[in-house]
């Protein structure tokens, strides 16, 4: 059995930069046609779509605010129309938004973090299910985080809560969609270097401290996450559903 995604049609949310960009490129390299969603990274998404098209893949960059149900549905519809359907949906879009303690947190901050990380995945997946049900190899991959297990760093209560909710969503959805042959799994990355997340919210000294404490003694890379997506998107994982794969260098053991 080989990791061959030729002919598979994938939507990657938040695919214009960082982990999402690595996932989109990895799927394309294995033969998949890819719709690259973006919210703010339009140039990055269009660059990746152009690269994939030049390599012979069907690809499109499609923008939208996934915290809005109508826009999320439109993104899915555009992806399915351009690719001729969907087999793989990678709900990568998410964000810490900002650090805030519970005592100082506003209602708007709490709602925004849950919307960006949980509601967006729900809206996209709900819109994609009718397309995935027509596939012979439907796959949904959701993005959780190490924060869902250890509570995250300072000021990350809302984010940790949201990412824990993603795990619950993945497991419940896995049961719901199993009868249609669709698998649903989640990833829980730990410290991944050179991402906007840590470059924005984690000071350099703290980053070095995190890496020094990892059993593998190196930071994770965007390709480490992309590799796990390739596994979950392929036939290699056809009997794997409702699971969470930790990608954290040994920082935490489930």
Stretch 101-119: mean pLDDT: 98
Residue 1 has what pLDDT?
66
Q: Whole-number mean pLDDT of the chain?
A: 95
* Domain spans in the chain, listed from the N-terminal domain onward: 9-246
CATH code for 9-246?
3.40.50.720
CA 98 to chain centre: 19
Query: Is 38 annotated as catalytic?
Result: no
**Within 13 Å, how many C-alpha atoms sit on residue 99's CB side?**
11
Q: Please report the pLDDT score of residue 205 as a whole number.
A: 80
Q: How far apart are the first and last CA of the chain?
A: 29
Reply yes or no on whether the pLDDT at 37 is more than 70.
Answer: yes
pLDDT score recorded for residue 200: 72
Distance CA 243, CA 39 (A): 28
pTM of this structure? 0.95
Mind listing the pLDDT tens digit for each residue in 68-85?
A: 999 999 999 999 999 999
Specify the pLDDT at position 81. Answer: 98
Q: At what angle do helices 18-29 and 42-54 cross, to 10 degrees?
A: 10
| Residue 202: burial class (beta carbons within 10 Å; 0-12, 13-18, 19+) | middle
d(C-alpha 67, C-alpha 220), whole Å: 28
What digits encode the pLDDT tens for the residues 176-196? 999 999 999 999 999 998 877
Task: Find how far residue 94's CA is from the centre of its chain.
Answer: 8
**Of 123, 159, 191, 201, catalytic:** 159
Count other C-beta atoms under 10 Å from residue 71's C-beta. Answer: 16
């Amino acid at each position: 059995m080989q990791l061959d995604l030729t002919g598979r049609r994938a939507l990657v949310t938040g695919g214009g930069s960082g982990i999402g960009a690595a996932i989109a490129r990895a799927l394309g390299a294995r033969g998949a046609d890819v719709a690259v969603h973006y919210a703010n990274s339009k140039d990055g998404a269009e660059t990746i779509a152009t690269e994939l098209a030049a390599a012979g893949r069907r690809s499109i960059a499609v923008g939208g605010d996934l915290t809005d149900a109508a826009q999320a549905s439109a993104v899915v519809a555009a992806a399915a129309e351009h690719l001729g359907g969907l087999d793989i949906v990678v709900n990568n879009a998410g964000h810490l938004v900002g650090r805030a303690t519970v005592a100082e947190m506003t209602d708007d901050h709490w709602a925004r973090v849950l919307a960006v990380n949980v509601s967006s995945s729900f809206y996209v997946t709900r819109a994609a299910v009718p397309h995935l049900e027509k596939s012979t190899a439907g796959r949904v991959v959701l993005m959780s985080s190490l924060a869902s297990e250890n509570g995250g760093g300072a000021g990350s209560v809302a984010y940790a809560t949201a990412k824990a909710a993603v795990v619950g969503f993945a497991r419940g959805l896995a049961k719901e969609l199993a009868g249609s042959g669709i698998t649903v799994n989640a990833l829980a990355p730990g410290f991944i270097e050179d991402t906007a997340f840590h470059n924005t919210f984690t000071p350099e000294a703290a980053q070095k401290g995190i890496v020094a404490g990892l059993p593998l003694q190196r930071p994770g890379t965007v390709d480490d996450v992309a590799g796990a997506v390739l596994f979950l998107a392929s036939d290699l994982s056809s009997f794997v559903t409702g699971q969470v794969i930790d990608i954290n260098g040994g920082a935490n053991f489930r």
